[in-house]
């Protein structure tokens, strides 16, 4: 039997439920991680990843804004079912993610498998929170007067997420899942040096029940993509998890122009059980006053 060339995978962006190449036509090399004790120079070539441009970033904002109304308007129970379906599909492609995480982070396959298992479990964990978070952060407020005063959480809107640079999959899931679990839509800027697990996650999302545009995935130079997104007037919030101190300061200044919510970078052990901070970070509180007693001729009381 004659030798054959392997069919190499072409990774693409994920925007609006589709897989466009970067409009710039640019790509960059992704290589394996090299250990601190390893030889100098780059690791082994893995793939060419798309180098997203400012135009790609703007397209992602348009897709996320279009998807926000239907996604935020879906019931929390329905969002939970969709997120759980994503976890099922991640489980079915676990072997692929183990390989990509091992190559991205310089881990053995057994250690990478632990990371992938934890990421899938984390996705299930957030799926379970979709219809419970309102009970924790909302409720009836005591007031002096014949009124009901009710507070309910509502999603902020379009959220830009700078994925962690080092934790290519567990960290990625830990910052993306809470954003969409609470009804926001997301634009994910992947880890610059290890984008392949995030780009593969886009493939899973495309074939799940998640509507197109709810999550959009851009790979490339973090600063180049994040800068126009932080200044974009139709972006409502930004998670700076994957930004260094210098970039985080620049993006925070840009985000202030339209009063975006900003979650600053902070030391996080993604292996630890997360709290609810990343869900509440991108929720607004809506408070409604309603009089008690009878209403008009109907005699209805509340």
pLDDT digits (tens, 9 = 90+) for 139-162: 777 888 887 888 888 999 999 999
Which position has the higher pLDDT, 249 or 153?
249
Q: Is the pTM of this model over 0.75?
A: yes
pLDDT of residue 36: 39
Determine the Cα–Cα distance for residues 72 and 70; give it in Å rounded to an integer.
Answer: 6
Q: Tell me the pLDDT band of 2, cut-offs 50, 70 and 90.
A: low
**Does residue 22 belong to any structural domain of this protein?**
no
Q: What is the mean pLDDT of the chain?
A: 91
215: Cβ–Cβ under 8 A, 6 or more apart, which residues? 14, 176, 180, 185, 186, 188, 202, 205
Q: State residue 296's pLDDT score.
A: 46
Residue 4 placed within a domain: no
Q: Is 15 within the bounds of a domain?
A: no
> Is residue 165 in a domain?
yes
Tell which wins on pLDDT, 14 or 139.
14
Which pLDDT score, from 0 to 100, does residue 115 have?
A: 97
pLDDT at 299 over 70: no
pLDDT value at residue 35: 52
CB 176 within 8 A of CB 147: no
Q: Is residue 13 included in any domain, yes or no?
A: no
Question: What pLDDT score was predicted for residue 131?
Answer: 94
CATH of the domain at 117: 3.40.605.10
Please give the structure tokens belonging to residue 69: 């109304």
Share of residues in the chain with pLDDT > 70 (%): 93
Q: How many helices (H) and strands (E) does the chain have?
A: 10, 12
Number of Cβ within a 10 Å radius of residue 17: 17
Give the pLDDT score at 34: 65
User: 8 in a domain, yes or no?
Assistant: no
Residue 44 makes CB contacts below 8 A (sequence gap 6+) with: 31, 32
Res. 1: pLDDT tops 80: no
209: which DSSP letter? S
List all residues 6 or more positions away from 295 whose beta carbon is below 8 Å from its beta carbon.
301, 302
Q: Which residue segment(s) compose the domain that 269 sits in?
A: 27-301
- 11 located within any domain: no
Q: What is the mean pLDDT of the segment spanning 247-270? A: 94
pLDDT, mean of residues 244-262: 96
Give the total number of structural domains in the chain: 1
User: Tens digit of pLDDT for each residue in 196-221?
Assistant: 999 999 999 999 999 999 999 999 99
pLDDT at 149: 81
């Amino acid at each position: 039997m004659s030798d054959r060339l392997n069919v190499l995978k072409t990774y693409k962006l994920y925007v609006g439920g589709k897989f466009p190449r970067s409009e710039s036509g640019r790509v960059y090399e992704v290589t394996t991680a090299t250990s601190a004790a390893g030889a100098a120079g780059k690791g082994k070539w893995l793939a060419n990843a798309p180098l997203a441009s400012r135009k790609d970033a703007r397209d992602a904002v348009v897709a996320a804004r279009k998807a926000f109304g239907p996604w935020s308007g879906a019931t929390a129970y329905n969002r939970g079912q969709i997120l759980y379906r994503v976890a099922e599909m991640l489980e079915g492609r676990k072997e692929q993610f183990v390989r990509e995480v091992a190559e991205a982070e310089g881990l053995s396959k057994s250690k990478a498998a632990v990371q992938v298992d934890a990421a899938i479990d984390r996705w299930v964990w957030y799926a379970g929170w979709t219809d419970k978070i309102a009970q924790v952060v909302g409720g009836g407020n005591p007031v002096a007067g014949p009124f009901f005063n009710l507070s309910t959480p509502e999603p902020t809107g379009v959220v830009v997420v700078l994925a962690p640079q080092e934790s290519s999959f567990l960290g990625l899931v830990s910052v993306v899942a809470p954003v969409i679990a609470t009804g926001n839509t997301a634009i994910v800027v992947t880890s610059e040096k290890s984008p392949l697990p995030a780009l593969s996650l886009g493939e899973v999302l495309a074939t799940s029940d998640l509507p197109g545009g709810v999550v959009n995935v851009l790979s490339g130079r973090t600063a180049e993509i994040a800068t126009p997104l932080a200044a974009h007037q139709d972006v409502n919030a930004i998670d700076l998890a994957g930004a260094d101190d210098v970039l985080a300061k620049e993006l925070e200044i840009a985000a202030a122009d339209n009063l975006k919510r900003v979650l600053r970078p902070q030391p996080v052990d993604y292996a630890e059980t997360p709290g609810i901070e990343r869900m509440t970070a991108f929720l607004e509180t809506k408070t409604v006053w309603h009089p008690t007693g009878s209403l008009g001729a109907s005699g209805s009381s509340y």
